Amino acid sequence: MELDNFATWLEIDLGVLESNYRILHKTTGTPVMSVVKANAYGHGLEEVTKTVEKAGAQWCGVARIEEALLLRNAGIRMNILVLGYTPPQRVQEAVQNKISLTVYDPLMVQAYAQQAALTSQVLDVQVKVDTGMGRLGIPSEKALEFIHQVKDQQEFHFQGIFTHFACADEPEKPYTEQQLEKFNKILRQMYTQGMRPELIHSANSAAALNFPPARFDIVRCGLALYGLSPSSETHLPEGIKPALSWKTRLISIKQLPGGHGVSYGFKYFTKKTEKIGVIAAGYGDGLRRQIGNTVLLRGKRVPVVGNVCMDQCVIQIDHIPDAQVGDEIVLIGKQGKEEITATEIAKKWNTISYEVICGMAARMPRDYTH
Ligand SMILES: *Cc1c(COP(=O)(O)O)cnc(C)c1O
Minimal CA–CA distance to 232: which of 296, 301, 170?
170
- pTM score, whole prediction: 0.97
Q: Closest Cα to atom 4, ligand 1: which residue?
A: 222
CA 207 to centroid of ligand 1, rounded, Å: 10
Q: Which residues of 319-345 are buried (b: 16+ CB within 10 A; e: fewer)?
A: ebeebeeebebbbbbebeeeebbbbeb
Q: Measure the CA–CA gap between 85 and 65, rounded to whole angstroms.
A: 8
Strand 294-297 and strand 328-335: pairing?
antiparallel
The per-residue pLDDT for range 31-46, each reduced to its tens digit, is 999 999 999 999 999 9
> Average pLDDT, stretch 277-286?
98
Q: What is the pLDDT of residue 4?
A: 84
Residues 6+ apart with CB under 8 A from 113: 123, 153, 155, 156
Evaluate: CB of 230 within 6 angstroms of ligand 1.
Answer: yes
Q: Measure the CA–CA gap between 40 and 178, rounded to whole angstroms.
A: 30
Evaluate: CB of 102 within 6 angstroms of ligand 1.
Answer: no
Give residue 122's Cα distance to chain centre.
30
Minimal CA–CA distance to 10: which of 49, 41, 36, 50?
41
Cβ-contact 315, 304 below 8 angstroms: yes
Minimal CA–CA distance to 304: which of 277, 266, 332?
277
The CA angle 255-261-262, to the nearest 5 degrees, is: 70
Active-site position among 26, 173, 191, 264: 264
> Average pLDDT, stretch 199-225?
98
Evaluate: CB of 205 within 6 angstroms of ligand 1.
Answer: yes
Q: Which atom of ligand 1 is nearest to the CA of 41?
A: 8
Q: Which atom of ligand 1 is nearest to the CA of 205?
A: 9
Whether 264 is a known active-site residue: answer yes
Q: Closest Cα to atom 10, ligand 1: which residue?
A: 204
The per-residue pLDDT for range 140-152, each reduced to its tens digit, is 999 999 999 999 9
Domains recognised in the chain with CATH numbers:
14-226 (3.20.20.10), 244-340 (2.40.37.10)
In angstroms, the first-to-last Cα distance of the chain is 13
The per-residue pLDDT for range 43-57, each reduced to its tens digit, is 999 999 999 999 999
Q: Measure the CA–CA gap between 307 and 280, rounded to whole angstroms.
A: 14
Evaluate: CB of 160 within 6 angstroms of ligand 1.
Answer: no
Residues 6+ apart with CB under 8 A from 85: 102, 136
The per-residue pLDDT for range 244-262, each reduced to its tens digit, is 999 999 999 999 999 999 9
Evaluate: CB of 304 within 6 angstroms of ligand 1.
Answer: no
CA dist 149 to 92, 124, 128, 157, Å?
20, 14, 13, 12
CA 35 to centroid of ligand 1, rounded, Å: 6
CA 33 to centroid of ligand 1, rounded, Å: 10
Tell me which of 17, 20, 28, 35 to substitute to probe ligand 1's pocket, judged by most ligand atoms within 8 Å of the beta carbon.
35
Evaluate: CB of 83 within 6 angstroms of ligand 1.
Answer: yes
Cβ-contact 215, 28 below 8 angstroms: yes
Cβ-contact 90, 65 below 8 angstroms: yes
The CA angle 63-67-68, to the nearest 5 degrees, is: 95
Share of the chain residues as helix, strand and coil, in percent rounded to the nearest 5? 35, 25, 40
Evaluate: CB of 36 within 6 angstroms of ligand 1.
Answer: no
Q: What is the pLDDT of residue 340?
A: 98
Tell me which of 81, 131, 204 to substitute to probe ligand 1's pocket, judged by most ligand atoms within 8 Å of the beta carbon.
204
Whether 173 is a known active-site residue: answer no
Q: What is the pLDDT of residue 1?
A: 67
Minimal CA–CA distance to 132: which of 92, 103, 69, 174?
174
